[in-house]
Structure 1
Amino acid sequence: MGRNRKLGLDYFPMDVDFFQDIRIRKLIKYQGGKAVTVYALLLCIIYKQGYYVRWDDELPFIISEQTGFEEAYIQEVFKCCLIVGLFSKKLYDSDKVITSKGIQERYKSICDQLRRVCQFDEFGLISSEEIGISSEEIGISSEEIGISSEEIGISSEEIGISSEKKPINSAKSTQKKRKGNNKENSINRVKEKMGSDFGSCDIPLSELQHELSADSGWEEAIRLHLYRNGIKVFDHDMFLLWLDKFVISLKAGGTISKDRKGFMEHFRNWILTEIKRGATNLFQDTNDALLKSSECNKTYHKFLSYIKKQAPYCFSNMRLPTEEEFLLLRDKYGNDMFKNALCTIEGRVDIRSKWDVLYNAVLKQFEFMKDEK
C-alpha cells in the first residue's frame, strides 16, 4: 500500500524584495508594521497544510494567542489583506478559502524542487499553461482533440485558405512560411470572432449594468480604487446602488449605449468624485435609528447619547458599537478609559480615518494607551 501524498511544506522562501511589494507597503500603511506578523503567520498556516486553508472562527483566536494581538485587530488585518490583493477575495467570498496565485506559484516551485507531484485538485488559481502543460508539449493538435475551424465558427475562407491557395509540390521551407502566415491569420480572425477587443462596440446601458453588476473582479477593483483614495466603507449593496445611479445619470444626459471599456473607466472616475462630494455623515441615519431604537435600554441609550454629544464626527461617520460590544468595553475597560479613548479618536484624523467601526478603533486606542504606560 502506497504512502499518502504529502501536501504541506516544511519551509517556504521569502523574497529579499518582500517589503518593496506594493501590497505589503499598503498593508503596513493601513494597519501598521505588526500586520506583517499576522500575514506571515497566515502564510505559515497555509503552507503547513498545502496551498490553501479555510477561514474559521477559531483562526483569529489561534493567531491572537501566538502573536499577542487582539482578535479584532487580526480580523481587520485579514480584511485589509483581501482588499490589497494578498489573498484571493473571490475564493474567500465563495468558499471561505485563503490562498492566492502567488502562494500557489511558490508552492508549485517548491514541489518542483523537491520532485514532488504538484496537483491543484481544488481552488487552483494557476492555469494549465502556467503549470507547464500545453497541447504542443503533450503532442496533441486541434485535429487530434476533435476541434475544427468550423466548430469554433471560422471557415477556411475566413482564415485565408482556399483550394486555389493551397500550395502544391512546394518546397518544405515555403510550406513552413505559409503555415506560419496562416496561423497568424487564424489567430487574428479568432480574436475578431471572439471579440478580444470587446470594449470597442457600443452596448445598451441596461445590458452593461446587468453584466457588470455580477462582475466580482471589477467590483473588487472599484473597491480597491476607492480604498486607496480614502473611502474605506464600500460593500456590495453600495456598489449596486452607485452603479444604478451612474446609469440613471447617463440616461438623463441622453446616453443610451456605451462601449464596455469606456463605461468602466467613466464609472471609475465618476464614483470617486461623487462619493467624495458627499463622503461625510455616511452613518448618520443608521446611527440615529440605532439611538432611537435603544430608548428602551436606558444604559445603552445613555452610552450612545454620550458618543453623539462628545464625538459627533465618530457618531456620523463610523459604525457604533453594538449593545454586546458596549458591555464588553464597559466591563473590561471602564467608563473613564473609554471616554479618554473616544476623545482621542474624535480629535485625531489620522486615527479615525483608518477605521469604519468605532469599536475596533477604541480597542486599537486602548492598545496604544497600554503601550504608552
Structure 2
Amino acid sequence: MARPVKLGLDYFPIDTHVLKDIKIRRLMKKHKTPGVLLYFMLLCDIYESSFYVQVDQDYLFDLSDQLDIEDEEVKTMLDYMVEIGLFDAGLWKQSILTSKAIQERYIAAKGRYLNERKLEKQYLLVPVTAVKEEMAANTSVNAEETLISAAETPVQTVESAQSKEKDSKENESIFIIERESGAPARENDQSLLKDQWDQWKMDLLNDGDWCNLLIRISGKGTSLLENAYDAMRYFDDFNLLRALGDTVRTRKEYQSRFIAWWRHNHWETDMQILAGSKTAAIPQVRINKPAARKSRYEEMMQVAEEAKLLTQQMFENHGFGYSFTNGIETASDYTV
C-alpha cells in the first residue's frame, strides 16, 4: 500500500559519552577502529529499517565489502559485540541483532507515530506499553515543573494583573467573534489544528479498511495511495486558506471532507494542479466535417465521363476499327 507510515528512522540519538562507555572501549581495544566503525554501521542499518537487523550471508558480504575485510572477521566482531552485551545474545541465535537500549530509543523516537501493528513482536525485548507510560510520565513531570515555575513567579502589581485579565477577555471576545463569523482562526489555533490533522493522516493511511474504501470509490487502483499523503497536505492548505478549519474538528469530518474534496478534483495526482500552479490540459476533440455532397447533375456527368473512358478503352484495346480523337469518333480502313 502506498505511502504507509515509515517504520525506520531518518536519524537516531547518540549519547555524548558513547566513546567512554565500557562496552565500546572493550570493542575498541580488541578490534580497533574497524570494530567501532562496524558497530555504528549496524546501528544505522537497524534504525533505518526499524529496531533490528537480520544477518545472513549476503549482509555479511556487504559489511565485509564496505570495510574491506573478510567475512569471517566480520562474524568474529559480531560475536564479540554480543559477548560484551552490545546486542542481545538470545536473538543472536536467530541471526537477529538488537538490544533493549536500541528498542527503547526506537520507541521513544517514533513517539505517537509508532505503528504497533507493524512491529514484529517476536523480536521485542521491551514492553511497548511500559515505554510509552514512562514517556508520558516524564512529559507529565516536565509539565508540572513548568506550572510550578510559573506559580512561583510573583505578580508585580495589581494593575498589571488587571491589565492582563482585561487583555485576556478582549482576546477571548475576538476569538469568539472570529469563530462565529467564520473568520480565519488565530495562528496558535491553526497550529493545533494542523498537528491534529497530521495525526489523522497517519491514522487513516494505516487504516486498511479506509484505504480500501478510497481505492474502491476512486476506481484508480492502489497506485492512488502513493499520492494520498501529499493530497491531504494540499487539502489542509485549502481548508486554512478558505477559513474552513473550524468545520474540520473530528477525524470523521476530516476523512469525509477529504474524500469529497479529492473527488471534486477528479482524483488528481499531479500536485502542481492541486496547488493551483498548473492547469490541467483539456483534451482536444477533432471533428471531421463530412465532404460536401455532389448534386444529382454532377453525379450524372461523372458517370457519363467514366462510361465514355471505359468505352474508349474497350474499342482501342480490342481493335474494333474505331478510335476516339478529341471526342470525335472516326473509322479506320480495316482491310485484311
Q: TM-score, normalised by structure 1?
A: 0.33
- Say which structure is richer in helix: 2
**Which structure has the bigger radius of gyration?**
2
Structure number with higher relative contact order (C-alpha < 8 Å, ≥ 6 residues apart): 2
